[in-house]
Structure 1
Amino acid sequence: MASPPPSEQPGAATAEADTISKVLIVMGAIGFARLITAMEAEAMPLVHNFKLDEAPADESIFPKDAPWIRYHGKYKSLHIDLVRPGKDIIFGVDSVGTVSAALLTYASIQTLKPDLIINAGTAGGFNAKGASVGDVYLASDVAFHDRRIPIPVFDTYGVGARKAFATPNLLNELNFKAGKLSTGDSLDMAPQDEEAIVSNDATVKDMEGAAVAYVADMFSTPAIFVKAVTDIVDGEKPTAEEFLMNLRAVTTTLELAVVKVVDFISGKHISDL
């Protein structure tokens, strides 16, 4: 008896649905008013490497007043969309933080329907947890450290701890470090934030990861978090000073890491990760 065509074989529909064909890269970072901002420093090498084109303003998939920027193109077997929040329309600085990240992720999921989200960016690392400048981490868990709601159940909601999408094969193949990511809207670390970060058992901290994870979970979209360490939060140097000193070098490290991730993903199924 002849075998049924591939589309009719058991499990074929599941395998097809599991194929990764559309990847959304959500960039995020701490911005400073310098010759080159952090977000631009992180995003542009990837734009060039993947040969992505910037979407013209008159063809934007986003609301006309939104400052969000999108690049898109074909890379190997994947269609890649790379988005970043752009600049605040009032203050003219990078739209950093959880609000911008959540809004951008929501709009991108709704319009682009990605199979997988990669949140890529820089992060502060903790020496006490073994982090060093230039390390690349694949987050195993994400949580907030500055949403304090001291009411039963609401306190747990505020922390918002959740697992990142598990990628054991990717982690082993690329030999990245694994660690927990803690997210907040401040560059510095107040004593209450530090206490929460320790409670979160975090190795790295950023300003958007947990917000991206929240929206991704809402719409059942797998998300992974690639973070390159620019500064040691519990080190001797001031955070902003160390961040700026290491930004260019770590940006190159981040670019290479994301390219490796995308190369690994190309031609694979979600279940292969």
Structure 2
Amino acid sequence: MAPPRGDASAAAEEAMLAQLEKRPVCTILIIIAMQTEALPVVNKFQLVEDPNTVFPEGVPWVRYHGVYKDLNINLIWPGKDPSLGVDSVGTVSASLVTYASIQALQPDLIINAGTAGGFKAKGACIGDVFLASEVAFHDRRIPIPVFDLYGVGLRQALSTPSLVKDLNLKVGKLSTGDSLDMSPQDEATIIANDATVKDMEGAAVAYVADLLKVPAIFVKAVTDLVDGDKPTADEFLQNLATVTAALNETVSQVVNFVNGKCLSEL
């Protein structure tokens, strides 16, 4: 007797993932929300902008691509908002661009890189770069049983013990919301999430990556201390350039470490 359709589908998916873990990573998708954060990585790997977009007509999303060692690298920046001309930050753009990029490019691994706020109470300092162990939302409050868990949307990042050890990276939990500031309600959920860093895209990328079964890691550099004594916006802008350089260096190290390795070796 043939197994139920659902069981057969799950078995095929597990077999596919097992096969992926045994072959070297070939195609990397790097998702970065801000142009200031993206361009140093573009320049580092000598990526070029794709004039023939793989995305739907009219969207502002930008793809940079190139070959580095044994890797096909695709860096996707969501572009500027067509009406206001600012970077298309936040969970909506991140979700859409992650979904479209996976569909078009079929990556073996996603790297979501960017700046983030850090919590000094959890040991974060300006300029620290963290690899997220897990990601969750802090601004999707649905106080109904089970829906509350859906709102938090806790997901594990790809486990990369060798990468963490080799690069001596700090590891912490990442919490995501669509506001730069932090309301008392957000703060309570962030504490419940046991987060060391907070951003505006990570958990959205993780949701889509999990949905489409693409492993993802999250590299976040601290521009501001959320529980510090300086206004968040001022501190973010003051440190953005310096911290972006640290982010670029770490992303470069991560890419070099991934080259030639399969997922199980990370």
Same fold per superposition (TM over 0.5): yes
> What TM-score, normalized to structure 1?
0.90
Other-structure match for 1:9: none
Matching residue's letter, 2:49: E
**What is the rounded CA distance, in whole Å, between the counterparts of 1:74 and 1:97 in structure 2?**
29
Compared with structure 1, are the counterparts of its residues 186 and 16 closer, same or farther at alpha carbon in structure 2 (3 Å cutoff)? closer
Question: What letter corresponds to residue 231 of structure 1 in structure 2?
Answer: D
Letter in 1 for 2:91: T
1:213 is matched with which residue?
206
CA–CA separation in structure 2 for the residues paired with 1:169 and 1:78: 19
Structure 2 match to 1:237: 230
**Alpha-carbon distance in structure 1 between the residues aligned to 2:96 and 2:134:** 21
Aligned residue for 2:35? 40
Mark the runs of 5 or more structure 2 residues left unpaired by the alignment.
1-17
**Counterpart Cα distance in 2 of 1:16 and 1:243:** 38
Cα deviation 1:168-208 (Å, max 9, x = unaligned): 00000000100000000001100000000000000000000
Report SS of the residue matched to 2:139.
coil
Q: Which amino acid aligns with 1:48?
A: N
Q: Does 1:264 align with 2:252?
A: no
Distance 1:15 1:216, change over 3 A: closer
Post-superposition shift, 1:14? 3.2
Q: Could you tell me whether the CA contact under 8 Å between 1:87 and 1:94 is conserved in 2?
A: yes
The Cα shift of 1:15 comes to 6.8
What is the distance in 2 between the residues matched to 1:81 and 1:203? 28
* Cα distance, 1:16 vs structure 2: 8.0
The alignment covers a number of residue pairs equal to 249
The aligned counterpart of 1:170 is 163
| Cα deviation 1:44-77 (Å, max 9, x = unaligned) | 0110110100011xx1000011110000000011
Inter-partner Cα distance in structure 1 for 2:201 and 2:103: 19
- Give deviations 1:183-236, integer Å, cap 9, x for gaps: 000011000000000000000000000000000000110000000000000000
For 2:3, the equivalent position in structure 1 comes to: none
Match of 2:8 in 1: none
Mapped to 2, the partners of 1:15 and 1:53 lie a distance apart of 27
CA contact (8 A) 2:20 2:263 kept: no
- Do 1:18 and 1:271's aligned partners in 2 also have CA atoms closer than 8 Å? no
Cα distance in 2, alignment partners of residues 94 and 261 from structure 1: 25
CA distance in 1, matches of 2:182, 2:102: 31
> Does residue 1:55 correspond to 2:73, yes or no?
no
In 2, the alpha carbon distance for the partners of 1:40 and 1:184 equals: 20
Q: CA RMSD in A?
A: 1.1
Aligned partner of residue 185 in structure 1, secondary structure: coil
Structure 1 residue ranges without an equivalent (≥5): 1-12, 29-38
Q: Which runs of 4+ in 1 moved over 4 A?
A: none
